[in-house]
Chains A and B, each alone.
Chain A
């Protein structure tokens, strides 16, 4: 290959290479590119967030976690099961909310002290070991679904407690261990919602689920569920590969910056949303063959244009090169 030809191929090769790399990132991530990593100045940012959280706590005590509407995640549901005088499960034909078994409480206490107490405090009230209150969330009165969601989605124990937003990762604790910790924390200050079991979300009304998803969820998570960046280094995570229980837990408890959907969504509506997310969102039909992460027309247009222009440039150089 002559020197002049090499020189001429540099530009199109760079275009093509960059495009292929970004395309690979899109394919492999499946929306992961919308989840920024730890920022360069975690300390500065985390102090802002801590301020925001303590303000929120001032006006939003955990006790106000309930709804008065029936069949919307709180105990006032069609079916309530008591055992030895305590509510062990409640719900209806759409969702059953189950309390973690009480015999797991001793195990849960031990696991909590190992994995959680250094930040959330030995009393689970957000007062850390060094007695500085306000820096970490108070876990009391949140209900088992909240505790279970944060542990089972791998967000807790946090990789770096200073990061702006704990990211989803491979869970460190098993489902049973998560339930154990939820059981112990809930025994300190019993509350609902319990852990939701969504009944056969595969048969839910996904048409209604889509409407509700578009109205309530798509603004942040995007209409394809790929997630997107939000304000102040926060982001809405991708909804791919999230089991039905965690989808329902997130809707009912509002983890992090997500709003808490309680009385404005009935259990039937939540089941329809869960059915839509675990069905259509997580198993998208891509008639063109490639979904490109479902990141929207800008990303798709960029890939199409850059890839197409790169290849066309290579072909153009080949055709035009006569000597």
Chain B
């Protein structure tokens, strides 16, 4: 497009340039031909816009809207830009900028006007000044309210307590209690304490993954000899890093993986973190199998679930 031999041109002032000045000539070597090309492009652009209108009228697919409108805007924009680029005076032009800084006299008189006269005028109305100050103070106090009010409900006891109780049935998302015969080895199910599968706290802090590792009783850590009846182990589904649901169970690696930051937890070893940013093991829920074969909780979690908070790093 710029194949023409490039002559050096010194910038001139647009105001003083005459119409026969070389700076006033268009960049295009053949302005008539360039004009025709630009006109053709803009014509197709107009077709695109019209096509958009037609497509909109006939309720076409979204991609047709985007395609027609895109063609229209692109070609019209190309035409306008090329008009300015190839057919307008090629320049370059300069326009000298005047001094930005005012003279010392101007600056002094302005300062005097603001500080002395303005201050005096304001000082005449002490009542209004006081009321305005009071308004600003009230506004400042009210503006701090969102810090207290809009950060959501207070967590209350959910930081340290969940809805799991001694004897709570482990139910799935449909409310069906889990029976000891249900899961095959290598199976996983997300469970809630019965009655809380649809509640806010159930969805937030009670969610637990129940995994069957084997058919024998399984001990994950010393002191948890009774926590893994018939090979079932239950861990909080909340990552100890930032609280994402740890739902990725890799049954050959025996790892729970958090999808957010790839923390890995060793399911056979009390879910201690083996990789990633998680600082603590996932809390294990003590469970037992009752006389009819249903899996139930021995108690609440022995430690807070989820990520750390201000009193727990």
Q: How many residues of A contact B (CB 8 A)?
A: 46
**Is there a chain B Cβ closer than 8 Å to A64's Cβ?**
yes
Cross-chain contact B178 with A5 (CB below 8 angstroms): no
- One of A67, A68, A257, A289 near B252 (C-beta < 8 A): A257
- Please determine whether A322 and B92 come into contact, CB atoms closer than 8 angstroms: yes
Give A256-267 as 1s and 0s: 1 = Cβ < 8 Å from B's Cβ atoms.
111111111000
A232 contacts B184, CB within 8 Å?
no
Which of A55-63, A116-124, A155-163, A177-185 lies on the face that meets chain B? A55-63
B2 within 8 A of A: yes
Report whether B61 and A219 are in contact in the complex, using a CB–CB cutoff of 8 Å: no
Inter-chain contact A264/B178, CB cutoff 8 Å = yes
Assuming A59-B213, A59-B268, A219-B245, is B183 touching A263 (CB within 8 A)? yes
Which residues of A from 37 to 66 have beta carbons under 8 Å from B? 49, 52-53, 55-56, 59-61, 64-66
Instruction: Identify which of A1, A60, A215, A256 gathers the most chain B CB atoms within 10 Å of its CB.
Output: A60
For window 1-57 of B, CB contacts with A under 8 Å fall at: 2-3, 6, 27
Contacts of A103 in B (CB 8 A): none
CB-CB under 8 A from A234, the residues of chain B are 250, 253
Contact A322 B90 (CB under 8 A): yes
User: Could you say which of A49, A53, A263 contacts B184, with CB atoms under 8 Å apart?
Assistant: A263
Complexed CA–CA distance, A26 and B264 (Å) = 28
> Which A residues are CB-close (under 8 A) to B264?
231
Q: Give the residue name and chain of the A residue nearest to B258 (CB).
A: A219
Residue of B nearest to A320 (CB): B85
Residue of B nearest to A290 (CB): B63
Tell me whether chain A's interface is mostly helix, strand or loop, or mixed.
Answer: loop
Question: In the complex, which residue of chain B has the Cβ closest to the Cβ of A261?
Answer: B187
**A64 to B: closest C-beta gap in Å:** 4
Tell whether A260 pairs with B185 under 8 Å between CB atoms, given A2-B2, A59-B268, A64-B214: yes
State which of B6, B184, B252, B268 has its C-beta within 8 Å of the C-beta of A66: B184
A68 and chain B: residue at smallest CB distance? B181
In A265-323, the 8 Å CB interface with B consists of 287-290, 318-319, 321-323
- Across-interface contacts of B253 in A (CB, < 8 A): 52, 231-232, 234, 257
Partner of B275, one of A64, A67, A231, A321: A231
Q: Is the CB of A56 within 8 A of B245?
A: no
Q: Which of B54-69 contact A (CB under 8 A)?
A: 61-63, 66
**Considering only CB atoms, which chain B residue lies closest to A232 in the complex?**
B253
Nearest A residue to B216, CB-CB:
A59
Cα-based distance from A66 to B182 in the complex (angstroms)? 8
A11 to chain B, nearest CB (A): 19
Encoded as 1 (CB less than 8 Å from any B CB) or 0, chain A from 121 to 158 comes to: 00000000000000000000000000000000000000
Do residues A68 and B182 form an inter-chain contact, with CB atoms below 8 A?
Answer: yes
Assess the B252–A219 pair: CB atoms within 8 A: no
Measured between beta carbons, the chain A residues less than 8 angstroms from B255 are 231-232
Segment 202-234 of A: residues with Cβ below 8 Å from B: 211, 215-216, 219-220, 230-232, 234
Which residue of chain B is the closest to A260 with respect to CB atoms? B186
In the assembly, what is the distance between CA of A12 and CA of B178, in Å?
Answer: 59
Q: Do residues B249 and A262 form an inter-chain contact, with CB atoms below 8 A?
A: no
Partner of A264, one of B66, B183, B231, B250: B183
Min distance, Cβ B2 to any Cβ of chain A, angstroms = 6
> Which residues of B sit under 8 angstroms from A49, Cβ to Cβ?
252
- Chain B residues within an 8 Å CB radius of A5: 2
Cβ-neighbour of A230 out of B85, B172, B231, B257 (below 8 A): B257
CB of B162 closer than 8 Å to a CB of A: no
Residues of B within 8 A of A17 (CB): none
Chain B 230-249, CB within 8 Å of chain A: the 1/0 string? 01000000000000010111
Let me know if B226 is at the binding interface, CB within 8 A.
no
- Interface presence of B91 (CB below 8 A): yes
Q: CB-CB contacts of B206-229 with A at 8 A, as 1s and 0s?
A: 000001011100100000000000
Task: Tell me the bound Cα distance from A65 to B215 in angstroms.
Answer: 10
Residue of A nearest to B210 (CB): A264
Contact of A243 with B by CB under 8 A: no
Q: Cα distance A263–B255 when bound, in Å?
A: 21
Question: Does A69 make an interface contact (CB < 8 A)?
Answer: yes
CA distance A263 to B250 in the complex (A): 18
* Bound Cα distance from A67 to B178, whole angstroms: 12
Q: Is the CB of A64 within 8 A of B215?
A: yes
- Please list the residues of chain A having a beta carbon within 8 angstroms of any beta carbon in chain B: 1-2, 5, 49, 52-53, 55-56, 59-61, 64-69, 72, 211, 215-216, 219-220, 230-232, 234, 254, 256-264, 287-290, 318-319, 321-323
A-B contact pairs, 12 of them (CB 8 A): A53-B252, A56-B251, A60-B185, A67-B187, A231-B248, A257-B253, A260-B183, A260-B186, A262-B187, A263-B178, A263-B182, A322-B92
Closest 10 CB pairs of A and B: A68-B181, A263-B182, A289-B63, A219-B247, A264-B189, A257-B250, A64-B185, A260-B186, A262-B184, A259-B188
Instruction: With A68-B182, A220-B259, A263-B183 given, name 10 new contacts (CB 8 A).
Output: A1-B3, A56-B254, A72-B182, A219-B245, A231-B264, A232-B255, A259-B187, A260-B186, A318-B81, A323-B2
